Amino acid sequence: MTTNIFDELDADDGALQRLHSRLERDADAADLLDIAYRTVDTPVGTLLLAATTAGLVRVAYDVEGHDAVLTSLADRISPRVLRAPARLDSVARQIDEYFAKRRKVFEVAVDLRLAEGFRRSVIEHLREIGYGNRESYAAVAAAIGSPRAVRAVGTACAHNPLPVVIPCHRVVRSDGSTGQYVGGPLAKSTLLNLEAA
Amino acid sequence: MAEHGATVLRVCRAVVGPVDAEDAWSETFLSALRAYPDLPADANVEAWLVTIAHRRAVDVGRARSRRAVPTDSLPDRPASHADPASRDPDLWTALQRLPTKQRQALAYHHVAGLPFAEIAELLGNSPDAARRAAADGLKTLRKYYREDETA
């Protein structure tokens, strides 16, 4: 057996890229694009952005494992997951502007279906903490009417489905130290310093 | 799913030719997205995609024969982008001269790596017949292809 003569039918990257773009458009038009995703490079690493037709549903740091996050989205929401940057162009641009200090508020539709119950209340409250401000875990717990649930607030922040866009990084310890963060403590202090500068 | 895109494109090119292959590929992945939620978690995704590609390729072939494009009005190079037909005109010409079942058996076995038992299900024949079709096709293809190359 000599070399496989069908190697001559080799699928070149140009054709595949063109076909993928066509699939993105066709799938979107046919309502088959349940979850679109793309990545964006930032000073705190490469962020994965994922959106349903309702809005931004997930932002994930490198350390969370982008493949694992996509698998989890496929399990929890829909297996129709496709790299389709168009739906996320606006979010990506706003994140660029945020890190360039040209934006203080994100204007994006969000889909909070990954945060339920108590965690959802915490996430909703986080959206009210303004740019450059900080609030303690205890203050957040008090604000949502569960002053003793300080530790649960920490857990809710750690499970924020939309870090950076929903500012869980603005929640710090009562003693003023930054505390834990889903993107790692360095990412948290980078964001806080960016907003303080 | 995208990781199987290249294999499916090569299968489509072998079965329906380089021009219709892109339509067949697009239809395949669109159908796959539609059906994906019902696919068992342990299924062989590539074999499943080839099965869909087989059906879509048959559809695309039918649509083309209905359109009945007059061949003398076709340009030499049907598309401006990197067209495999212009790069490897001989292989596709040689493939086109094979009977459909031989071409399909060749593509599903030698390009997609499907076992003959599965190919037989697609082609509606027996595994032995599928094996023979692929072997006969390959033999004829080698003959045509070598002739073309040395011509």
Is A56 within a domain? yes
Q: What percent of chain B has pLDDT over 90?
A: 38
A126 and A93 in a single domain? The answer is no
User: Do the domain assignments include residue A104?
Assistant: no
| From B26, B37, B110, residue closest to A80, measured CB to CB | B37
Domain assignment of residue A2, yes or no: no
Residue B2 reports pLDDT greater than 90:
no
Q: Which range, of A65-69, A97-101, B58-62, averages the lowest pLDDT?
A: B58-62
Pair (A139, A95) in one structural domain = no
Mean predicted confidence (pLDDT) in A88-115 = 96
Q: Name the residues of A annotated as catalytic.
A: 168
pLDDT in tens, B124-139: 999 999 999 999 999 9
Q: What are phi and psi of B138, to 5 degrees?
A: -65, -40
Inter-chain residue contact A4 with B29, CB threshold 8 Å: no
- Residues A73 and A111: their CA atoms lie apart, in Å, by 13
Q: Which residue has the tokens 């057996």?
A: A1
Q: Residue B116: pLDDT band by 50, 70, 90 thresholds? A: very high
Q: Do A9 and B141 touch (CB under 8 A)?
A: no
- The whole-number average pLDDT for the span A44-68 is 96
Q: Average pLDDT in the A101-118 region? A: 96
pLDDT of residue B73: 43
pLDDT digits (tens, 9 = 90+) for B53-82: 999 888 877 776 665 544 444 444 444 344
Mean pLDDT, rounded, for A34-41: 95
pLDDT of B87: 52
Query: What is the percent of chain B where pLDDT is above 70?
Result: 77
A1 touches chain B (CB under 8 A): no
A70: CATH = 3.30.160
Q: What six digits make up the tokens of B99? A: 């009977």
**CATH number (domain holding residue B91):** 1.20.140
Residue A15 has a pLDDT of 87
Instruction: Write down which residue in A64, A99, A134 finishes a domain.
Output: A99
The CA-based diameter of chain B, rounded to the nearest angstrom, is 51
Q: Name the interface residues of B facing A (CB cutoff 8 Å).
A: 1-2, 5-7, 9-10, 13-14, 22, 25-26, 29-30, 33-34, 36-37, 39, 81-82, 84, 87-88, 91, 106-107, 110-111, 141-142, 145
Percent of chain A with pLDDT over 70: 95
Listed residues A66, A99, A132: the one ending a domain: A99
DSSP A135: E
Residues 6+ apart with CB under 8 A from B143: none
Structural domains of chain A, count? 2
Are A157 and A95 part of one and the same domain? no
Residue B54 has a pLDDT of 92
Query: Could you tell me the residue range of the domain that residue B135 belongs to?
Result: 2-75+83-150
In a shared domain, residues A20 and A87: yes
Q: Is the pLDDT of residue B151 over 70?
A: no
CATH code, domain with A152: 1.10.10.10
A 78-97 residues inside an 8 A Cβ radius of B = 78-80, 82-83
Q: Show the domain range for A64.
A: 12-99
Per-residue pLDDT reduced to its tens digit, B90-112: 777 788 889 999 999 999 999 89
Token couple for A77: 């929401």
Q: Is the pLDDT of residue B4 over 90?
A: no
Question: pLDDT for A119-176, tens place per residue?
Answer: 999 999 999 999 999 999 999 999 999 999 999 999 999 999 999 999 999 999 988 8
Distance CA A76, CA B64 (A): 41
Strand A171-172 versus strand A35-42 pairing type: unpaired
The mean pLDDT of chain A is: 92
Same domain, yes or no: A67 and A127: no
**Overall number of domains in chain B:** 1
B81 with A14: Cβ contact below 8 A: yes
CB of A132 within 8 Å of a chain B CB? The answer is no
